Structure 1
Amino acid sequence: MNSAIFIGAIVCLLATLVFYAGCPNQQWFKKKPLSFNTALLIALTLLVLSTVIFSSTFSLPAAIYTVITLCMLLLGTIPFFTRYAVPLKSVRSRGTGLTRDESYSTFKPHWWLKTIGATLISFPFALFTSGLISQFFLSNTPLDVKSQFLMWLIVPFWLTPLSLIFFAKKPWPPLVMLSLITLIEFAVLQVQG
């Protein structure tokens, strides 16, 4: 295995760990070690570094796709890293291993709003983002390669916001931000087209 691939994967894992540690719904620490904005800034910096490391081995579009896919995989599994420290004896006899703070009794998760809102808004976001990548980064790429790459790139761009919205306590701020980004992308595509 190429050392750049290994180092890029480690940096991506570190970025995901930092992001999860700063999330308001994280379950590892009783008190968050980082504020959300600080964790987000550090994680984004590490993700850019990981993309640069991967691009020394892959092409830039492949490096971006690798980082996004790795983040999706890691964000789905990282919350469970500390849950299996000891082997489970029986699933039926054990209660939940999740710890809940005092806000649990008054907290309303808004699962339906988060799921439906993020699904509906993140699909156009994925389409417009892949369109922008096509216009700005893949203009000299052969059509058959570009179309395949963009087709597969839509899935991570669609599912990443859909999974990230569940880290937020309130659904409205991320949905509004995603909607604004989607509208800006649409406007840029209309000006460029």
Structure 2
Amino acid sequence: MENRKQPISKDWWSKTLAGAVLGWTLALALAGLFAWFGPDGIAAPQKSQFVMWMIAPIWMLVFSFVYLFRSGARAVLWLAAANLLAYALLYLLPPMLSQP
């Protein structure tokens, strides 16, 4: 019997695109949430530098795990849903903090 290698998945392009675009936007939203709700709030000194540097590791983590989805469509759907949730929280929660 001959061992045949599995061909590369046909939807790896869509997974890559989902990880690149939606992973990037998700990393931005998660960094924004940390900026608002992390230690000492949004006005913490030197926090902006840390938040800026945490975007790349979050993005690469999402980007690397995107290939575990069964299809590119699932990757797009799950990452789009995560983005919607993260941006909804980012949009809705900070104004609640500033109200008296």
Name the TM tier (shorter chain): 0.7 to 0.9
Work out which of the residue numbers 116, 132, 143 in structure 1 matches 2:17: 116
What SS is found at the alignment partner of 1:182? Answer: helix
CA distance in 2, matches of 1:149, 1:165: 25
Describe the superposition over 1:117-175 as per-residue Cα deviations: whole angstroms up to 9, x where unpaired. 2211111101110111111123177332x111101110011111111112233122232
Partner of 2:75: 174
Equivalenced residue count is 90
CA RMSD of aligned residues (A): 2.2
Which of 37, 40, 52 is the aligned partner of 1:151? 52
TM-score (norm 2): 0.75
Contact 1:127 1:154 in 2 (8 A): yes
CA distance in 2, matches of 1:161, 1:189: 19
Is 1:190 equivalent to 2:91 in the alignment? yes
Counterpart code for 1:177: W
Q: Distance in 2 between matches of 1:182 and 1:166?
A: 18
Task: Name which one, 1 or 2, has greater alpha-carbon Rg.
Answer: 1
Amino acid at match of 1:155: A
Equivalent residues in 2 for 1:43-122 (5 A)?
100=5, 104=6, 108-122=9-23
Which whole-Å CA distance do the structure 2 matches of 1:167 and 1:118 have between them? 11
Aligned to 1:142: 44
The equivalent residue for 1:164 is: 65
Q: 1:5-40 deviations in whole A, cap 9, x for unaligned?
A: xxxxxxxxxxxxxxxxxxxxxxxxxxxxxxxxxxxx
Instruction: Tell me, yes or no, if the aligned pair for 1:134 and 1:150 is still in contact at 8 Å.
Output: yes
Q: Which has the higher contact order (CA 8 A, sep 6+)?
A: 2
Query: Residue 118 of structure 1 aligns to which amino acid in structure 2?
Result: G
Overall identity of the aligned pairs, in %: 26
Q: Which ranges of structure 1 fall in alignment gaps of 5 or more residues?
A: 1-98
Cα distance in 2 for partners of 1:183, 1:168 equals 19
Q: After TM superposition, which residue ranges in structure 1, 4 or more long, deviate above 6 angstroms?
A: none
